[in-house]
Amino acid sequence: MPLYEYLCQDCGTKFELLRGMAHADDPAPCAQCGSLRTGRLISLFAAVSDGRIVTGPAGCAGCSAHSCAACGCHR
């Protein structure tokens, strides 16, 4: 199950929830105040492939460097 980040519009708390993709955009009760006025945040991700760590939405598809400041990839 994916881990999603949310932000409460009432108290400003950021919190995470494990939920199915079908429910990612459903209202999520705030972990601090219980409000349902929350919204899902866009999150960065990291993946490990062949011993390389790739972060960000595009990864390092066209990068031949070992570390790319533009996309956050570290090989």
Residue-wise pLDDT tens digits, 4-37: 999 999 999 999 999 999 999 998 999 999 999 9
Classified as helix, coil or strand, 3 is strand
Residue-level pLDDT at 54: 63
Residue-level pLDDT at 43: 78
**CB within 8 A of 5, min separation 6: which ones?**
14, 15, 16, 40, 41, 43
Confidence of residue 75 (pLDDT cuts 50, 70, 90): very low
Q: Which two tokens stand for residue 59?
A: 């990864």
Give which of 54, 46, 43 is closest to 63, Cα–Cα. 54
Q: Are 6 and 42 in contact (CB under 8 A)?
A: no
Residue-level pLDDT at 49: 72
Q: Are 37 and 9 in contact (CB under 8 A)?
A: yes
